[in-house]
Chain A
Amino acid sequence: MTTTVQKKICMLGGFSVGKTSLVKRFVQSIFSESYQTTVGVKIDKKTVTLGDKVVHLILWDLAGEDDMSSLRMSYLRGSAGYVLVADGTRPATLETALSLRRRVEADCGPLPFALLLNKYDLREQWAVSDGDLEALRGSGCRVRSSSARTGEGVEDAFTDLATRVTH
């Protein structure tokens, strides 16, 4: 018997790391080269089927973290899990993502999350070392490389997270 559930997932990370592009790739299977900053939050919906379970993912794409505007934790209210996004060509954004994780865990507890190192299509400009990634994996982080441009790693990351938030 098919059951239907609905889960809220938040997209978090520094500005211009590709959160909106990842959602657009996942929801609409498209990618836009132009960068448009997000103000506040943008809500999208994507339905995935996991075995006999239909899962409506309500994706809250939050404005990027920067030096001037910090995350409104109120947006995370009721979230079942979250996706941390960093830009592999900008090592500082990985620090931002890890800092956000600490803040979310402090406010909301240990929610399921995925850490995406995005822009893998620019891996020749990659500035995050393999050693850093191994250290993160060693600490229990689910780190994946992704590319909103090519779609690499995107579907898998969301599906994996959807599986974990519905268990």
Chain B
Amino acid sequence: MEDLPAQVADRLRALTFADRAVAYLYIDDALALIGAGGCLEAYGLGALSLGAPAVEQAAFLEGLLPLVETPWLFPSVELAKGRVADLHFWRDQAGVWVLLLDVTSERGTAQRMQQKAYDMTLLQEREAALNRRLEAANTALLATQRELEAAHAELARWNKTLEERVAAQLGELERMSRLKRFLAPSLAELIVSSGDESILESHRRDIAALFCDMRGFTAFAESAEPEEVLELLRDYHATLVPLIQSFEGTLDRFAGDGLMVFFNDPLPCPNPAERAVRLAVAMRDAVAALAVAWRRRGHQIGFGVGIAQGFATLGQIGFEGRFDYSAIGTVVNTAARLSDAAADGQILVTSRVAGAVGDLAELSDIGALAIKGLSRSLPASNVVALKSGRHQKIVPLNRQTR
């Protein structure tokens, strides 16, 4: 400045400090304020007391004094009232000088530039975060798509086999329906589920055959209205068929009022004659109860049963589309003839059957009967009743076919 004329130096000082607040503090080694000047008010330092501790009056000095290294600069420090200064520290022999040089304007410019840079960076960070979320969502979508494709393939595979499975199930239903016609439903299901239909093949077996029909039915059918006849038959069948099923007899056939049942095939039965007699007694009791109602309506209907035991040929007979499971042999004919010969309420049995159920039932000998188709007469007995205490529960048969 010494080389400049006073007018120029003054002008230069005016231009430099026109919009800048410059202030200073002077602090001794005891940290007391020993001097202050300039635009102190601009920095909120208007009420300073010389001689008092400097740090208590200028809070920004906290921790900075005593200054070990000088000169020292703290750039761009925003103090009270929003004024920003570069703080220059240096010391001389008496103490430390602090110059507050206003850089508010420069700080504003730097702040605007930095703000743009940070805004841009934040935007990029958000974009990157958004991209990461999109990628994660995309990955999840791809995984879902793969799962869907797998499920679709599985579905296609199932569809492909569905027809075969439906055909197989239909076949099973058809077999079941066929077997149910001559077996108790539970037995039919058993055979179908086991898949063993070998029992339908022709074979020989010692069976107890039971025939039964109504007495006086033919006369009734001739005189009664068809609807009345059908109603009576419905009651009759609805009463007897469940009994047959509960005794696990094999229902061979029913024609009008005649029914044929046999035991010991296809399920083995330890005492087929006993079981047949028990069924016959239960049938007789049930039909007797029905007959009471029929008699009230003027119908004299009775009931007779014939039972025989012996070997028969069993198996599927008929033709494609109309098969039955049936028994053929003398034992069947004998049972049928005994049924024909039985009076109302009688259960006629052969001597073999009578021998087998002697402990079970009270029998009355009715002598030898002349049976059509047999060269010699046939001794027969009537089952009067089951002996007292022999009305035990029916034991389920062993569910194993031979």
Is B192 interfacial (CB-CB < 8 Å)? no
* A66 near B118: Cβ-Cβ < 8 Å: yes
**Other-chain contact of A43, B55, B60, B72 (Cβ < 8 Å):** B60
Q: How far is the CA of A7 from the CA of B62 in the complex (A)?
A: 7
Within 8 Å CB of A40, what residues of B? 75-78, 84, 107
Q: How far is the CA of A41 from the CA of B77 in the complex (A)?
A: 5
The chain A residue with its CB closest to the CB of B86 is A40
Give the contact-size bracket for chain A: 20 to 34
Q: How far is the CA of A66 from the CA of B73 in the complex (A)?
A: 22
* B118 near A39: Cβ-Cβ < 8 Å: no
B398–chain A nearest beta-carbon distance, Å: 66
Q: How far is the CA of A13 from the CA of B26 in the complex (A)?
A: 34
Binary CB contact string for chain A from 109 to 137 against chain B (1 if under 8 A, 0 otherwise): 00000000000000000010000000000
Is B63 interfacial (CB-CB < 8 Å)? yes
Given contacts A6-B55, A40-B84, A45-B59, contact A77 B107 (CB under 8 A): no
Binary CB contact string for chain A from 77 to 121 against chain B (1 if under 8 A, 0 otherwise): 111100000000010100000000000000000000000000000
The chain B residue with its CB closest to the CB of A127 is B129
Given contacts A66-B121, A74-B72, A90-B125, contact A43 B77 (CB under 8 A): yes
Within 8 Å CB of B62, what residues of A? 6-8, 58, 78
Within 8 Å CB of A64, what residues of B? 118
**Other-chain contact of A37, B56, B72, B78, B114 (Cβ < 8 Å):** B114
Within 8 Å CB of B118, what residues of A? 15-16, 35, 37, 64, 66
Binary CB contact string for chain A from 37 to 52 against chain B (1 if under 8 A, 0 otherwise): 1111111010000000
Number of residues of chain B lying within 8 A (CB) of chain A: 28
Within 8 Å CB of A79, what residues of B? 63
Given contacts A8-B62, A45-B59, contact A39 B107 (CB under 8 A): yes
**Other-chain contact of A58, B59, B72, B117 (Cβ < 8 Å):** B59
Within 8 Å CB of B64, what residues of A? 77-78
The chain B residue with its CB closest to the CB of A40 is B76
Binary CB contact string for chain B from 33 to 64 against chain A (1 if under 8 A, 0 otherwise): 00000000000000000000001100110111
Is B385 interfacial (CB-CB < 8 Å)? no
Is B291 interfacial (CB-CB < 8 Å)? no
Q: How far is the CA of A71 from the CA of B199 in the complex (A)?
A: 97
Within 8 Å CB of A78, what residues of B? 62-64
Majority DSSP secondary structure for residues of A touching B: loop
* B114 near A16: Cβ-Cβ < 8 Å: no
Binary CB contact string for chain B from 58 to 88 against chain A (1 if under 8 A, 0 otherwise): 0110111000000011111111000010000
B77–chain A nearest beta-carbon distance, Å: 5
Binary CB contact string for chain B from 104 to 146 against chain A (1 if under 8 A, 0 otherwise): 0001001100110111011001000100000000000000000
B140–chain A nearest beta-carbon distance, Å: 18
Within 8 Å CB of A38, what residues of B? 111
B341–chain A nearest beta-carbon distance, Å: 96
Q: How far is the CA of A19 from the CA of B72 in the complex (A)?
A: 26
* A77 near B84: Cβ-Cβ < 8 Å: no
Within 8 Å CB of B79, what residues of A? 43
B69–chain A nearest beta-carbon distance, Å: 9
Interface core residue of A38, A41, A66 (most chain B CB under 10 Å): A41
Within 8 Å CB of A37, what residues of B? 111, 114-115, 118
* B59 near A43: Cβ-Cβ < 8 Å: yes
The chain A residue with its CB closest to the CB of B73 is A74
Q: How far is the CA of A79 from the CA of B63 in the complex (A)?
A: 6
B87–chain A nearest beta-carbon distance, Å: 10
Q: How far is the CA of A57 from the CA of B121 in the complex (A)?
A: 32
The chain B residue with its CB closest to the CB of A45 is B59
**Other-chain contact of B74, A15, A41, A92 (Cβ < 8 Å):** A41
The chain A residue with its CB closest to the CB of B132 is A127
Q: How far is the CA of A90 from the CA of B118 in the complex (A)?
A: 14
Binary CB contact string for chain B from 161 to 184 against chain A (1 if under 8 A, 0 otherwise): 000000000000000000000000
Can you name 8 extra interface pairs (CB under 8 A) apart from A6-B59, A36-B115, A42-B78? A35-B118, A39-B76, A41-B78, A58-B62, A63-B114, A66-B118, A66-B121, A78-B63
| Interface residues in chain B, defined as those with a beta carbon under 8 Å from any beta carbon in chain A | 55-56, 59-60, 62-64, 72-79, 84, 107, 110-111, 114-115, 117-119, 121-122, 125, 129
Q: List 6 A-B contacts (CB under 8 A).
A: A35-B118, A36-B115, A40-B77, A43-B79, A58-B60, A78-B63
The 5 residue pairs across chains A and B that have the minimum distance between CB atoms:
A78-B63, A40-B76, A42-B78, A8-B63, A58-B62
